[in-house]
Structure 1
Amino acid sequence: MPESPEVQALAEILDERLVTQTIAAVELEEFRALKTRARPLDELVGATVTAVRRHGKHVEIATDRASLVISFGRAGWALLDEDSDAAVLAQLRFDSGSVLTVTDAGSFLSLGLSVVSDAGEVSSIAKLGPDPLDPAYTREQFEAALGARRKQLRALVQEQESMAGIGGAYSDEILHLAKLSPVVHAADLSADDRDRLFAAVVSVLTDAAAARRGIPLSQQKAAKVAAMRVHGRAGEACPVCGGTVLDVPGSKGSAQYCPQCQTGGVPLPG
């Protein structure tokens, strides 16, 4: 799943390359991907790109007519002047000769395309909470998201209404750096726990965004995977303590943690 650091890298590349370019043609290969049936992609033909922005895990390509919002879902992505092995859902061709290819590599379609006058018309963007990758993100916003909620941290950190842009991979990395169990409730955190979690949320995302900047779009996923310390590394040695990374029980292998670093050396009960 693309998360805010990778989507930020994509938005920066598209903003640099596509602003002032005119959309010469569009091709929708998978009609189910278009979520605004009353506003087809054809509406964008002849429009000029004015900006590309990130909203959580979504990208908005703004033009002088309307905006195209790409919601990436679990396995969606976009490439500019690069080929893909994934299923091609749509393409935008520009007067410069550049081609933006929108893909989905999942076993089911999760990517969505929306042609809107304002990005806030997309419901998943309208309900986004504060974005920890935003330089203006504050401790007060973080505390408001946590409160004294009886919700497990891994789920809470991924809650888009609370902290925009974080998915499964970075939630594992954040909790590992903060030395917190993925199943502890926000209500049970001490003041020191909350300090470490806030610092980890900001630093993990900020460092990842800096590391992804400028990497070719086709290599973003591989760069993300290579940078993971615990996510996707069950059975491997933790790079911090040398202990064995384990799957979070019940996650079916989609979530990982280090017992030595995060749960006092005691594995979570299965």
Structure 2
Amino acid sequence: MPELPEVQALAERIAELSAGRTVERVEVLSVQVLKTFDPPVTALHGQAVSSVTRHGKFLDLLAGDGPHLVLHLARAGWIRHRASFPAPKPGAGGGRPGRGPLALRIVLDDGSGFDVTEQGTTKRLAAYVVTDPQLVPGVARLGTDPLGPDFTEQRLAELTAGQRHRLKTFLTDQTVLAGIGNAYSDEVLHEARLSPYVLASTLTPEQLTALHTAIRETLGAAVARAHETTADALKAEKRAGMAVHGRAGERCPRCGDTVRSVNFADSSLQYCPTCQTGGRVLADRRLSRLLK
């Protein structure tokens, strides 16, 4: 799933590639991708691309001084730049709706543009055309941006106070911190040497400092790496930069212990026992059920 660093990099790439350009048309090629109807998608047509920004894991393309095209790439979505598109057949109106990965197409006035795709059979990618990004429910609920100026150590202390969630859940709750997902939460916790199962409200001042530093440095470093990477290589670069996420069975780069995994119904977390849990191996929920 694209998280804050990748979405930030995509926003920068799209802004660079669409600078000075006008939206010729937006083609909706998946019936379930567009979640709004007013303004219509045609409100974007003929409008200059004013800016491309990020809200958490949402992309926001502002056209002219009015409509916003807000995209959430979900778990399997991605955006690819196209230097040109095949000429539409007479009466076809561009791309053809279907069941393939292509969900939405943005065509600019110079013939270039962007394909928005989603792999797999579970379709969660969402597009919204709105007059204000705060009208998108997911954007309106977003919490503090962990790379924003408001995310101080004091702010983190306020957010964790009274929290009954484990740190893994706390970090990935978009209403608390906007933009951290499954992968970078694993990396942050490894960097901070904290167990994913520790209750957020029980952190000591020293642990809060370590967590705040790990969040800023882990995400900041990932954004810097993504900035130097082409869009097509972002996914591979993301994995290459991971210390524990997606590396179960491999050696921890810090201490050499074996990276372990806890598996859930539709996700998993990875951690190092020596670095994070005092050597204790956390129970694998899926394996525990099979042994019952």
Which TM-score applies when normalising by structure 1? Answer: 0.94
Identify the residue that residue 46 of structure 1 maps to in structure 2.
46
- 1:140-192: per-residue Cα shift (whole Å, max 9, x none)? 22122211312100010001111100000000000000000001101221111
- 1:187-208: per-residue Cα shift (whole Å, max 9, x none)? 2211111111111011100110
- Counterpart-to-counterpart distance in 2, 1:106 and 1:8: 24
Q: Is the 8 A contact 1:74 1:106 kept in 2?
A: no
The residue type equivalent to 1:194 in the other structure is L
Query: Once the 2 structures are TM-superposed, how far is the Cα of residue 122 of structure 1 from its aligned partner?
Result: 0.4
> Could you tell me which of 154, 163, 188 is aligned with 2:168?
154
- Counterpart-to-counterpart distance in 2, 1:215 and 1:79: 14
- Counterpart-to-counterpart distance in 2, 1:170 and 1:76: 18
- Counterpart-to-counterpart distance in 2, 1:93 and 1:139: 43
Is it true that 1:16 corresponds to 2:16 in the alignment? yes
- Counterpart-to-counterpart distance in 2, 1:76 and 1:44: 21
Q: Is the 8 A contact 1:13 1:214 kept in 2?
A: no
The residue type equivalent to 2:137 in the other structure is S
For residues 158-177 of structure 1, what are the structure 2 equivalents within 5 Å?
Answer: 158-177=172-191
Identify the residue that residue 236 of structure 1 maps to in structure 2.
250
For residues 17-166 of structure 1, what are the structure 2 equivalents within 5 Å?
Answer: 17-64=17-64, 65-81=66-82, 87-166=101-180
Is it true that 1:196 corresponds to 2:173 in the alignment? no
- SS of the equivalent of 1:33 reads coil
Identity of aligned residues (%): 40
- SS of the equivalent of 1:137 reads coil
Which stretch shifts more, 213-222 or 227-236? Answer: 213-222
- 1:40-98: per-residue Cα shift (whole Å, max 9, x none)? 32221111110011000011000113110001111111111279xx7110101101221
- SS of the equivalent of 2:216 reads helix
Closer, same or farther in 2 for the Cα pair 1:250/1:101, shift >3 Å?
closer
- Counterpart-to-counterpart distance in 2, 1:144 and 1:106: 39
Query: Once the 2 structures are TM-superposed, how far is the Cα of residue 39 of structure 1 from its aligned partner?
Result: 3.2
- SS of the equivalent of 1:248 reads strand
Q: Is the 8 A contact 1:147 1:186 kept in 2?
A: yes
Q: Is the 8 A contact 2:156 2:208 kept in 1?
A: no
Q: CA RMSD in A?
A: 1.7
- SS of the equivalent of 1:255 reads strand
- SS of the equivalent of 2:155 reads helix
Query: Once the 2 structures are TM-superposed, how far is the Cα of residue 253 of structure 1 from its aligned partner?
Result: 6.0
- Counterpart-to-counterpart distance in 1, 2:82 and 2:143: 33
- Counterpart-to-counterpart distance in 2, 1:67 and 1:20: 17
Which stretch shifts more, 128-137 or 225-234? Answer: 128-137
- Counterpart-to-counterpart distance in 1, 2:120 and 2:164: 32
Query: Once the 2 structures are TM-superposed, how far is the Cα of residue 4 of structure 1 from its aligned partner?
Result: 0.4
Q: Is the 8 A contact 2:164 2:200 kept in 1?
A: yes
Which stretch shifts more, 220-229 or 11-20? Answer: 11-20
Is it true that 1:219 corresponds to 2:247 in the alignment? no
Structure 1 stretches of 4+ with a deviation exceeding 3 A read: 249-253
- Counterpart-to-counterpart distance in 2, 1:220 and 1:135: 26
- Counterpart-to-counterpart distance in 2, 1:244 and 1:206: 26
Q: Is the 8 A contact 2:189 2:214 kept in 1?
A: yes
Aligned residues: 268
Query: Once the 2 structures are TM-superposed, how far is the Cα of residue 25 of structure 1 from its aligned partner?
Result: 2.0
> Could you tell me which of 268, 273, 276 is aligned with 1:262?
276
Larger radius of gyration: 2
- Counterpart-to-counterpart distance in 2, 1:188 and 1:140: 15
Closer, same or farther in 2 for the Cα pair 1:262/1:187, shift >3 Å?
same
Gaps of 5+ in 1: none
